[in-house]
Amino acid sequence: MTWSNSGPTPAGSNGPRSLSSLMPYLYLIPFAASFVACYLVGGALARLRREAGEEIAAVAGGLALAFGAVLAMGLCVPLEGLVAKEARAVLLGASLVFLACLSEDVGQPRWWLRLGALLLASAGVCLSGVRFEVVKKPLLPHQFAHLGPWAYPITVLWLLGVSYVVASTDYMPGLTAGIGTLTALTFFIVTLWKGEGGTLGACLAAVTCGSSAAFLRYGLASRPLALGRSGGAFLGFLLAVITVVGTLKKTAFLVLILPLLALGVPLVNVTYAHRHRRPTPAGKGPRPGAPSAPGLYLYDMLLQRGFTPQRTVLLLLALHAYFCLVALALVGIVTVHFAVKLLLLLFLLPAGGLAFFLISRIAARVAEELEASRTIELLGVKVNAVTMDTTVAQVEEFIAAGTPHHLVTADVSTLMKARQDAELRDIINRADLVTPDGAGVLWTAKVFDWPLKERVPGVDLVDRLCALAAARGYRVYLLGAAPGVAEKAAAILQTRHPGLVIAGTRDGYFRPGEEEGVVAAVRAARPDLLFVALGVPKQEKWIRRHLRELGVPVCIGVGGSFDVISGRLSRAPQWMQTYGLEWLWRVLLEPRRLPRLWALPRFVLAVVGYCLRQWWTQRR
Ligand code: UDP
């Protein structure tokens, strides 16, 4: 039995087996098997992540996906036709690609290893019989051109290209899994509907659809399991084989259009990336959502426009679903004249693209307006109208996005320093989130009737974020304060929040020459959250200088928080906190801070001056 596209099969011949003779619901078995296996293994690895650390998390998604698919394909063997050499070649090839890329994920990325494995796997699959052999001559009914020896290089190139295109999305595991699910489902429908692709095509599509759908649960989580190069290349290779096996060969138009449409989003993604000719964000590191150069891919482009990571993935999957529906519509009118199909395609594709860009633009504007309504300007410095809860939620989104973010907690003394220090002012205004820290900031907001609801002080934020980190398995790094203080604070935080993973600690008294080593140590520890306690403005400038290099999703300057948490300095009594007198307590504990109090009357004067200027401008 062969699955190559050796032209249309006359009834009763020995060609590809007609699926009408098989009960379609049998395919629920491979679908369910791969779904359950991937779901269970993914769940176990997600639980293991906390103990095993990021090394496991970096390949967990790929392991779950490959395990589900390979196990289910094994179960398919009793189904008639799957003992065929083609099925064995596909399984072997996909496993080879997975293992070669797995060694890359846990070691140094080596492009030649991945390419070699993909070449070997594609050649094996091609030699086993899965290849394009004939091409229908456009506009000539029942006429086929035989590719002859060209069938081999064309199929191998096709398999390589499609694998690469799908794997290009592996830095956003939820998106890759969604694309895998929708594409495999489309081909599954086509195989059952049109009877092309045989048992192998239907089984492969069912298995791929099952494991990708199960992986959505972990890929779309706020802290996704990474697919890694291995998972991305494995899924890419399976989809590539499905496109060869399941493509309709009876129509020249659909031979190319069907797979191109069914892989719409990754194709647009790759085209977009190449048009901008910059290095790929994927592959720079195995961590999920590793820092990517902004504005590169569709995903980054939408993030830049203010979309949350979850909404970005959903919008891209909606676009992909649209492409798949257009593909199915064309398959439905397969007998209609070539020109009509072309016209329909020429209308539907730009319509989809236009809808996508309109939606993304409108949503970006809404996000911008929302953001503006949540931001106030205090004496020329930006402050976000956030509460403790919304800050924590925002931090979760930043970590899910994976790109570096800078958070500032701004109190009156920070605002006054920023008024005099243009560099600090610029850093704060460019920060991703500025929380109102301190009674003075809230008091001013009240005077102006600005929407600041509550204080988000650094010391409380550290505690809340450590609670979040313990629950989600985020890694935390404490940098700053006198020698021994960060370690002590870390130990106390671990007692308060059992399960909290401390990626590292380091005191804040390093010489400028040691700075590079400190950055390298933090980077190597791969934290999700970095608390920097060097005092204002040193910590803000240090974070901004090294933000990209550090690659940490969330960096926050937290001033004297480690001193308070470690017990080196006691926290103000509750009544002083309630009445906003914490600053007075700090001065009582550390009289050297007395000169800083000068910032308070200067702040009041500045606010009064601001009010007078506003009043004067309005009068004129
Ligand atoms: N610090 C540090 N390295 C420095 C200067 C300061 O680690 O070079 C630490 C210091 O030990 C203290 C914190 O930074 O723990 C500054 O705390 P402070 O309350 O003065 O911060 P601010 O009020 O400026 O935010």
pLDDT tens, 112-122? 888 899 899 99
pLDDT band at 32 (very low <50, low <70, confident <90, very high): very high
pLDDT value at residue 294: 36
Using the atom order of ligand 1, give the atom closest to the CA of residue 586. 19
Question: Mean of the pLDDT values across residues 398-425?
Answer: 91
The whole-number pLDDT of residue 311 equals: 74
Number of domains in the chain: 2
Nearest-atom index, ligand 1, CA of 413: 23
pLDDT at 38: 93
SS3 category, 600: helix
- Centre of ligand 1 from the C-alpha of residue 446, in Å: 29
Of all atoms in ligand 1, which is nearest to the CA of residue 485? 15
- 265 and 412 together in one domain: no
Domain assignment present for 291: no
Cα 48 to middle of ligand 1, angstroms = 37
Q: Is residue 420 part of a domain?
A: yes
CA of 481 to the centre of ligand 1 (A): 6
> Which atom of ligand 1 sits closest to the CA of residue 562?
15
Residue 215: per-residue pLDDT:
92
Ligand 1 pocket by C-beta < 6 Å: which residues?
Answer: 480-482, 508-509, 533-536, 538, 559-560, 562-563
Q: Is residue 350 part of a domain?
A: no
How far does residue 534's CA lie from ligand 1's centre (Å)? Answer: 4
Residue whose CA is at the smallest distance from ligand 1 atom 15: 481
CB distance 163 to 97 below 8 Å: yes
User: Nearest-CA neighbor of 90 among 217, 198, 248, 8?
Assistant: 198
Least confident of 15-19, 228-232, 299-303, 359-363: 15-19
Ligand 1 centroid to 487 CA: how many Å?
16
Domain final position from 222, 249, 275: 275
Q: 321-325, 335-339, 478-482 — which is least confidently predicted?
A: 335-339
**Do 440 and 560 lie in a common domain?**
yes
**Interval 128-134 mean pLDDT:** 81
Residue 618 falls inside a structural domain: no
535 and 403 within one domain: yes
- Note the pLDDT of residue 466: 96
For 417, the domain range is 374-613
Q: Which residue has the tokens 């991703």?
A: 432
d(CA 482, ligand 1 centre) in Å: 8
Ligand 1 atom closest to the CA of 593, numbered from 1: 20
Give, using CA atoms, the residue closest to atom 20 of ligand 1: 535
Q: Is residue 311 part of a domain?
A: no
Where does the pLDDT of residue 13 fall: very low under 50, low under 70, confident under 90, or very high at 90 and above? Answer: very low
Q: For a substitution probing ligand 1, which of 538, 539, 561, 584 has the most ligand atoms within 8 Å of its CB?
A: 538
Distance CA 365, CA 544 (A): 27
List Cβ neighbours of 328 (8 Å cut-off, separation of 6 or more).
186, 189, 190
Q: How many CB atoms neighbour CB 14 within 10 A?
A: 9
Q: How far is the CA of 396 from the centre of ligand 1 (A)?
A: 26
Atom number in ligand 1 closest to CA 411: 25
Residue after which a domain boundary falls, among 275, 294, 322: 275
Residues forming a β-bridge with 480: 533
- Is 475 a residue whose pLDDT tops 90? yes
The alpha carbon dihedral of 455, 459, 465, 467 has a sign of: negative
288 — pLDDT class (breaks 50, 70, 90): very low
Which atom of ligand 1 is least distant from the CA of 458? Answer: 25
- Find the 476 Cα to ligand 1 centroid distance in Å: 19
pLDDT at 130: 85
More confident residue, 267 or 234: 234
Per-residue pLDDT at 509:
95
pLDDT tier at 538, thresholds 50, 70, 90: very high
18 has a pLDDT exceeding 50? no
What is the residue with the minimal CA distance to atom 18 of ligand 1? 560
Residue 291 has pLDDT above 50, yes or no: no
Looking at ligand 1, which residue's alpha carbon is closest to its atom 10? 481
535: left (phi over 0), alpha (psi -120 to 50) or beta: left
| CA-based torsion, 74, 79, 84, 87: positive or negative | negative
Tokens encoding 353: 């693209």
- Within a domain: 148: yes
Contact between 204 and 90 (Cβ < 8 Å): yes
Q: Say what the pLDDT of residue 289 is.
A: 35
Give, using CA atoms, the residue closest to atom 11 of ligand 1: 481
Burial of 92 (0-12, 13-18, 19+ CB in 10 A): middle
Exposure string for 29-42, b = 16+ CB within 10 A, e = fewer: bbbebbbbbbbebb
Same domain, 68 and 208: yes
* Residues 264, 391 share a domain: no
Q: How far apart are CA 180 and CA 62, in angstroms?
A: 13
Strand pairing category for 381-384 and 405-410: unpaired
Within-domain flag for 18: no
Q: How far is it, in rounded angstroms, from Cα 583 to Cα 586?
A: 5
Integer CA distances (angstroms), 340 to 261, 299, 333, in order: 17, 34, 9
Residue 373 pLDDT greater than 70, yes or no: no
Same domain? 270 vs 389: no
For residue 56, is pLDDT > 80?
no
Q: How far is the CA of 560 from the centre of ligand 1 (A)?
A: 5
Average pLDDT across the chain, whole number: 80
Q: Whose Cα sits closest to atom 5 in ligand 1?
A: 534
How many Å lie between the centroid of ligand 1 and the Cα of residue 584? 17
- Taking the C-alpha atoms of residue 385 and residue 410, their distance in angstroms, rounded to an integer, is 12
Would you say 334 and 327 are in contact if contact means Cβ atoms under 8 Å apart?
no
Structure tokens at 290: 């590793």
In DSSP notation, 24-52 reads: GGGGHHHHHHHHHHHHHHHHHHHHHHHHH
Q: How far is the CA of 413 from the centre of ligand 1 (A)?
A: 13
* Residue finishing a domain among 275, 295, 324: 275
- pLDDT score, position 498: 94
Q: Whose CA is nearest to atom 19 of ligand 1?
A: 560
When pLDDT is averaged across residues 315-322 and rounded to a whole number, the result is 86
Name the residue at shortest CA distance from atom 14 of ligand 1.
534
Residue 146 in 3-state DSSP? strand
DSSP code string of 372-413? HHTEEEETTEEEE---HHHHHHHHHHHHHH-S-EEEEEE-HH
Mean pLDDT of 606-615: 78
Q: Vertex 547, ends 543 and 551: CA angle to 5°?
A: 130
The confidence score (pLDDT) of residue 5 equals 43
Q: Is the pLDDT confidence value at 370 over 70?
A: no
With pLDDT > 70 as the criterion, what percentage of the chain qualifies? 79
Q: Taking residues 503-525, what's their average pLDDT? A: 93
Give distance in angstroms: CA of 567 to centre of ligand 1.
15
Strand partners, 382: 377
Distance (angstroms) between ligand 1 centre and the Cα of 535 equals 4
Q: Which residues of 445-457 are buried (b: 16+ CB within 10 A; e: fewer)?
A: beeeebebeebbb
Judge whether 100 lies within some domain: yes
**411, 485, 530, 534: residue to mutate for ligand 1 pocket, most atoms within 8 A of CB:** 534
Expressed in angstroms and rounded, the spacing between residue 397 Cα and the centre of ligand 1 is: 28
* CA-based nearest residue to 402, from 118, 101, 171: 171
Q: Which atom of ligand 1 is nearest to the CA of 536?
A: 24
